[in-house]
Amino acid sequence: MKILRATRMDRCIGCHSCSLACARLVHKKFSWLASGIRIRSSGGLTTGFEARLCLACEPAACALACPTGAFSQRKGGGVIVKMRQCIRCGLCAEACPVDAVYLDQAGQPHVCIHCGQCVEFCPHDCLELREKPEHVCVGGTCDV
């Protein structure tokens, strides 16, 4: 399974092309608020940008918190979102440990679904779809 990663953010100029591509192509809206990837400055005006996106957790805290099943676990990590089932309660956004679920003005959630449509719109090749590792090691302990 492939997941989106922001592997070369040192090249990012903060143009938000990836966010706009996600909003337009995936969510059929033209607003940064309807994007599953957000670019933020990490301090400077022209350098030091970071991408906020879903880390493809397994189990996904947002899916576990969703009372209607609008967010469901995707095999291999991440989530599948069924907007018709969403009641806009915001519990998914509250549960996300990395702040990767965004609510627009109407309370509709937006999260990266790892489709990769934003990758080709990054003019500096900051994003890539890559195979998710079989296990994750954090702080010296590994979850296999």
Tell me the pLDDT tens digit for each residue of 74-131.
Answer: 888 889 999 999 999 999 999 999 999 999 888 999 999 999 999 999 999 999 988 8
Query: Cβ-count burial of 18 within 10 angstroms (0-12 exposed, 13-18 middle, 19+ buried)?
Result: buried
Q: Regarding predicted confidence, which is higher, 138 or 118?
A: 118
Tell me the pLDDT band of 135, cut-offs 50, 70 and 90.
low
- Joined together, the tokens standing for residue 111 give 């999260």
Q: What is the pTM for the complete model shown?
A: 0.81
Domain boundaries, the chain: 2-55+99-143
- The string over 62-101, giving b where at least 16 C-beta atoms fall within 10 Å of a residue's C-beta and e elsewhere, is bbebbeeebbebbeebbbebeeeebeeeebbbebbeeebb
Arch. (CATH architecture) of 2-55+99-143: 2-Layer Sandwich (3.30)
Question: What is the tens place of the pLDDT at every residue in 14-33?
Answer: 899 999 999 999 988 888 78
